[in-house]
Structure 1
Amino acid sequence: MKFTRAAAQLTALLGAAAVVATGCSTAESTPTAHPSDGEGWSYTTGYGNTITLDAAPKRIVVDAYSAAALWDYGIRPAGIFGYGITGGQATGNADVSTMTIVGNDGEMNMEALADLDPDLVIGYGNSDDPTSWTWWDEPMADKVNTVAPFTAVKFSGVPLPDVLTEYRNLAEALGGDGDAAKADKAAFDANSDRIRKVAAERPDISLLPLNGDSSSLYTGTTKLAQLGYLSGLGVNFSGPDGDTGWADVSWEQVPSYPADIVMQYVRSHEAFAASPVFVRLPAVTAGQVIDWDDKRPNTYGNYAAWFAEVATAMENAREVA
């Protein structure tokens, strides 16, 4: 089974592209799948649209975030694209060397994608169009859908556990082992409880999530799924909040957001080390700094390990704000 053959795909995408028809979208839908039983295969995404094929998909192409999330369930994609491929920032345990890279960052190599002849393309969805990757424009989304239907994972504005659950459901629909991460799920729950406990015992401990480079500086807000989840566990975040995941700040403003623990974005080490404000922050001089990354792999194991670091930092922190 193929959505359409590679040669025909490439010819079609060079001309006017037609979007694959999907069902209506409802944000509250629960992802479901119906593995092939001789009558076809379908999967309903978190957006509510249903992807239908004449048989269960065997060759898939995924963004880096989906590669990481699906790999732990035994799914082995044929191709990969998106942000975070190089350096393993977003790919987690996934072995990129076993996949064909069909695009880096926001780009897509349509010839390479068509040559792979995939049954599905999977990635973070676009809230305005669930048949598009969140970083594609409409023409690119149309072209990709002439090769294979795009299957969107809903991640924006969704609680972290729901994102992890959707990836597990999708992996099972693709033939993966939904119980493969059972131990990691138990660790995720246990370390979530540990954070909830220390947040209740030490409500005055505050954390400031910083991200920036030599030209820009941001604080993460609770609109980011992971910070929203931690906030729900009782974690006290310092810094401005807002309607988006990031708030612009200046170094002059940072001291006005006192914190006992500074969360330092994984790619900001060099820039922050050169900042005279950062190195003098009370939490930094006290050695109360932990790494964080809003693009970390959406796996129970990865989050369980990071939650253990957060819990330990909160348990051991001195109040210095």
Structure 2
Amino acid sequence: MAFDADSVKIGRRGLLAGGSALGLTGVLAACGSGDDADSGEAAESQPWEFTDDQPATVALDQTPTKIVAFTGMAAALYDFGIEIPAVFGPTTNEDGSATTQAGNLPVADLEVFGNVYGEFDVEAFAAYGPEVLMTYYYYDPASLWYVPAESQAEITGLTELTALNVDDGANTQDQVIARHAELAASLGADLDSESNAANKERYDAAVEALKAAAAANPVRVLACAAAAETFYASSPLMGNDLRFFTELGVDLIIPDALDEASGGYYEILSWENVDKYAADVLLLDNRVQSLQPDQLTEYPTWAALPAVQAGQIVGWEAEPMYGYGLAAASIEALATAIQNAAKLS
């Protein structure tokens, strides 16, 4: 979510709870190869049914065309070949460019009902006449991602709801991607198309590369985020991507004083104590609300970190991407960083 990282708790309601700062003509359609487009058109003429993770089943007379989805979810579906015409959530930066969570979405063409956390134009949403609202939840299906709590009942009362659980405390990124694939297929995506097959092949290769790099060069990795007054050391137990990386053998540091108020997602460190954990590689939150390396040059304790001096920093999509093509890129980057890292601790 685009917010002041120093004034808002950063957990799944903060650190992992936001993004950096998404109508398409023909609304829902499959993109990519001609086969994809044909399958999308066929799906539109068929009844549609999908059981989400609440669990709740939505059944419509035909595949929905007026879908409004959380930006990251729309980006994942787009990766599978499904175009979502309208979104809410971190879509564009101040300069109009796509946020990290928007993936490859054509953001200039999308209807956006809210671009920052807490923002949702209910009146415009109602006028749009959505058939389905699609978003995520973490643990609690009653708390919908980026749907303001104060207007959630009004918003969900205007349309059907499909929600996927992106964190139940045990699920991993690959499992969440698989659920997105099921949803995309229900909307008309051809999972066997040339583009989807290529994305899956790239993803599988990236996963194997990360596993191999972690085994060959077992360096210590700290997942973290930086704010003006605070440094956040994240727990690898509390995110579907970090749990997945741990399963693949990545040695992720587990902070020993996790913040209970955040649900144990991270430890809060002052900049004076930023060197508490000896890390060989820093996996740094790359969203707009987290300070980036070029913004941290004036922080002496940051500059003094061995990993910083060695240039062993890799961007972390703290809100993971759930399409095979999108996820492959970040996994490849981490694999390369680990493979090339020197042991510093």
TM-score range, shorter chain: 0.7 to 0.9
Q: Residues of 1 paired with 2:336 and 2:276: CA distance?
A: 25
Gaps of 5+ in 1: 1-34
Alignment partner of 1:72 is 2:87:
no
Counterpart contact for 1:169–1:178, Cα < 8 Å? no
Alignment partner of 1:94 is 2:108:
no
Q: Residues of 2 paired with 1:256 and 1:126: CA distance?
A: 29
In structure 2, the CA distance between the partners of 1:103 and 1:282, relative to structure 1 (3 Å rule), is same
Counterpart contact for 1:80–1:100, Cα < 8 Å? yes
State the match for 1:142 in structure 2: 153
Q: Residues of 2 paired with 1:237 and 1:277: CA distance?
A: 21
Counterpart contact for 1:46–1:166, Cα < 8 Å? no
Counterpart contact for 1:213–1:271, Cα < 8 Å? no
Q: Point out which structure has higher relative CO (alpha carbons under 8 A, 6+ apart).
A: 2
State the match for 1:298 in structure 2: 322
Shift of 1:149: 1.1
2:144 corresponds, among 133, 139, 147, to 133
In structure 2, the CA distance between the partners of 1:199 and 1:209, relative to structure 1 (3 Å rule), is same
Q: Residues of 2 paired with 1:128 and 1:195: CA distance?
A: 31
Question: Quick one: which amino acid aligns to residue 164 of structure 1?
Answer: I
Per the normalisation by structure 2, the TM-score is 0.76
Alignment partner of 1:49 is 2:56:
yes
Alignment partner of 1:235 is 2:241:
no
Gaps of 5+ in 2: 1-42
In structure 2, the CA distance between the partners of 1:302 and 1:129, relative to structure 1 (3 Å rule), is closer
Shift of 1:178: 2.1
State the match for 1:29 in structure 2: none
Give the RMSD, CA atoms, in angstroms. Answer: 2.2
State the match for 2:135 in structure 1: 123
Counterpart of 1:278 in 2: which secondary structure?
Answer: helix
Shift of 1:153: 1.6
Alignment partner of 1:261 is 2:274:
no
Per the normalisation by structure 1, the TM-score is 0.81
Question: Quick one: which amino acid aligns to residue 52 of structure 1?
Answer: A
State the match for 1:275 in structure 2: 299
Between the two proteins, the alignment pairs up a number of residues equal to 284
Counterpart contact for 2:307–2:313, Cα < 8 Å? yes
Shift of 1:202: 2.5
Shift of 1:187: 1.4
Question: Quick one: which amino acid aligns to residue 261 of structure 1?
Answer: V
**What are the Cα deviations for residues 250-277 of structure 1, in whole angstroms up to 9, with x where unaligned?**
2233322101112222242244222111
Alignment partner of 1:244 is 2:264:
yes
Counterpart contact for 2:67–2:134, Cα < 8 Å? yes
Shift of 1:69: 0.3
Counterpart contact for 1:126–1:152, Cα < 8 Å? no
For 1:9-20, what aligned pairs fall within 5 Å after superposition?
A: none
Q: Residues of 2 paired with 1:74 and 1:301: CA distance?
A: 11
Counterpart of 1:170 in 2: which secondary structure?
Answer: helix
Q: Residues of 2 paired with 1:184 and 1:110: CA distance?
A: 36
Counterpart contact for 1:61–1:78, Cα < 8 Å? yes
Percent identity (aligned): 28
Shift of 1:36: 8.1
Q: Residues of 1 paired with 2:83 and 2:340: CA distance?
A: 40
Counterpart contact for 1:79–1:116, Cα < 8 Å? no
Alignment partner of 1:165 is 2:169:
no
Q: Residues of 2 paired with 1:289 and 1:128: CA distance?
A: 33
Bigger radius of gyration? 1
In structure 2, the CA distance between the partners of 1:263 and 1:139, relative to structure 1 (3 Å rule), is closer
Counterpart contact for 1:282–1:320, Cα < 8 Å? yes
Alignment partner of 1:81 is 2:101:
no
**What are the Cα deviations for residues 197-222 of structure 1, in whole angstroms up to 9, with x where unaligned?**
2222223x111122021122212221
Shift of 1:296: 4.3
Shift of 1:159: 0.9
